[in-house]
């Protein structure tokens, strides 16, 4: 139940006072599989057609930009829903002027919950080219902080050989409301991975990734209307699924067509069973720190769905906090957090990867949950920060090892998310946490779930080794 102070703050009079104090009411964010209703503007700064080809594949008809040419500042005749700028091929500092010229009029015309999407080369040669590459990141982060009314800016780096089919799921995610709380971020997309012929039981990870043939990529590419259930006929395991973010992850996976295995501790059995029944999935009561947790997950999948069944995605969502200043943290508090948040994932993954019935499929997806606390650190959370930073390290190390099997490994890093746990934080402190990001509000569990859904998508085979913050561009961290 909201406190008296909180009810007063969110009353009409309280919001009027808050606005005068520089604390405006947060904008309502566009969420879900909803593209902008307004026109999408597309600009290519160096002749690349990758962004144009990707938008065409998604069925998005883009309009031409109205760049600032130094004379009278042009104005769009109506609000625009997004501006997509293809900066692939930029190698000289002087070329960045083209980006300024496109963005200046466009950001003025952005609609509420509008999108700025930048595209750039991941691998460039030469000092100046690398300076330009990094400059784009600085521009992206700054634009994210300057936008208003729930608009966001993000940057996608593309590796050589990336095609429109490889990029389609990423553009779809960024343009739709699914990316509502992802702002000021950058990550890399490459050519989709494929099974390089390594055996399930003995892959050493030494086999490099091979591009999927163009005709196969076309089949995998997500289309806004043509593939509303990308996880159909796929099994997704979600740990810590009984409530909060975990329940929302399971719900979004089921919405996208997955058969969901909901995993949580026995004490949460009642709510776990209720959720699994609601989603037409199955429930597995399990302490993930148990030595045989991986074996039990695989056995459950094989027994419920057949010996030939395989897991197509596992989301390691289960996590705990035991907050204390490091000076007051004993071995028990330290060990509990690391055991649940990190060691369990390190123990479960190899079991599911060894080729057993009910294990992870080739072309499978592994998704971890990091945190802005792990990226930036947080007072009183040394154990939690260690565990979540460890997830980042796991993702970056395991992704190249599994690339030859077509398996992707990624993580989300949530910021302040509105959950039952964060609702227990004192109101004033909670309101400060809500306001310390570019969107001026806390995120919702669905925001984390939608980003995970993007990672789980079969069309996201070129996204691996990435950590995407779901934090509204929190003011701390990278």
Catalytic (active-site) positions = 384
CA nearest neighbour of 159 among 461, 474, 472, 476: 461
Tell me, rounded to whole angstroms, the distance of Cα 156 from its chain centroid: 13
How far is residue 384's CA from residue 371's CA, in Å, rounded to a whole number? Answer: 9
* Residue 433 phi, psi dihedral angles, 5° rounding: -60, -40
In angstroms, the CA 82 to CA 76 distance is 12
Beta strands in 33-180, from DSSP E residues, in sequence order = 40-44, 62-63, 80-86, 110-121, 152-158
Contact predicate 184/144, CB 8 Å: yes
Q: What is the dihedral of CA 203, 209, 214, 216, to 10 degrees?
A: 20
Distance (Å, whole) CA 102 – CA 67: 5
Contact 329, 382 (CB under 8 A): yes
* CB atoms inside a 10 Å sphere around CB 326: 12
d(Cα 373, Cα 389) in Å, to the nearest integer?
8
**CA gap 169, 455 in Å, rounded:** 9
Segment (H or E) for 364: strand 360-369
CA distance 451 to 181: 9
The C-alpha atoms of residue 284 and residue 261 are separated, in whole angstroms, by 7
Among 61, 57, 56, smallest CA distance to 41 is for 61
């Amino acid at each position: 139940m909201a406190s008296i102070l909180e009810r007063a703050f969110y009353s009409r009079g309280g919001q009027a006072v808050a606005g005068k104090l520089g604390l405006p009411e947060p904008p309502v964010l566009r969420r879900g599989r909803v593209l902008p209703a307004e026109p999408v503007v597309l600009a290519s700064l160096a002749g690349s057609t990758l962004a144009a080809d990707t938008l065409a594949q998604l069925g998005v008809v883009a309009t031409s930009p109205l760049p600032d040419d130094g004379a009278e500042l042009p104005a769009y005749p109506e609000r625009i829903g997004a501006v997509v700028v293809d900066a692939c091929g930029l190698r000289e500092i002087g070329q960045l002027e083209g980006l300024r010229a496109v963005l200046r009029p466009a950001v003025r015309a952005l609609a509420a919950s509008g999108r700025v999407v930048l595209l750039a080369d991941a691998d460039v040669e030469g000092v100046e080219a690398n300076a330009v590459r990094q400059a784009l990141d600085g521009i992206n982060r700054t634009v994210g902080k300057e936008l208003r009314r729930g608009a966001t800016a993000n940057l996608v780096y593309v590796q050589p050989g990336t095609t429109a089919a490889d990029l389609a799921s990423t553009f779809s995610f960024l343009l739709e409301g699914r990316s509502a709380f992802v702002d000021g971020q950058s990550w890399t997309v490459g050519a989709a991975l494929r099974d390089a012929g390594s055996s399930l039981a003995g892959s050493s990870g030494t086999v490099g990734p091979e591009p999927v043939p163009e005709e196969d990529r076309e089949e995998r590419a997500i289309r806004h209307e043509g593939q509303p259930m990308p996880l159909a006929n796929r099994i997704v395991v979600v740990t810590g699924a009984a409530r909060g973010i975990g329940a929302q992850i399971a719900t979004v996976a089921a919405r996208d067509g997955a058969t969901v295995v909901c995993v949580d501790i026995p004490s949460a059995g009642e709510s776990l069973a209720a959720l699994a029944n609601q989603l037409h999935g199955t429930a597995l009561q399990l302490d993930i720190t148990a030595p045989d947790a991986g074996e039990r997950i695989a056995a459950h999948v094989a027994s419920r769905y057949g010996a030939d069944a395989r897991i197509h995605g596992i989301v390691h969502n289960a996590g705990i906090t035991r907050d204390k200043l490091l000076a007051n943290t004993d071995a028990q508090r330290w060990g509990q957090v690391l055991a649940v948040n990190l060691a369990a994932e390190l123990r479960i993954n190899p079991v599911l990867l060894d080729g057993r019935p009910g294990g992870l499929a080739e072309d499978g997806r592994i998704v971890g949950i990091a945190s802005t606390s792990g990226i930036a650190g947080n007072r009183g959370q040394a154990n939690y920060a260690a565990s979540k930073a460890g997830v980042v390290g796991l993702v970056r190390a395991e992704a190249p090892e599994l690339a030859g099997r077509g398996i992707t490994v990624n993580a989300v890093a949530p910021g302040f998310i509105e959950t039952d746990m964060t609702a227990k934080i004192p109101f004033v402190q909670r309101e400060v946490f809500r306001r310390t990001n570019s969107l001026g509000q806390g995120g919702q569990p669905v925001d984390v779930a939608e980003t995970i859904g993007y990672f789980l998508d079969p069309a996201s085979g070129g996204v691996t080794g990435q950590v995407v913050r779901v934090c509204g561009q929190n003011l701390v961290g990278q």
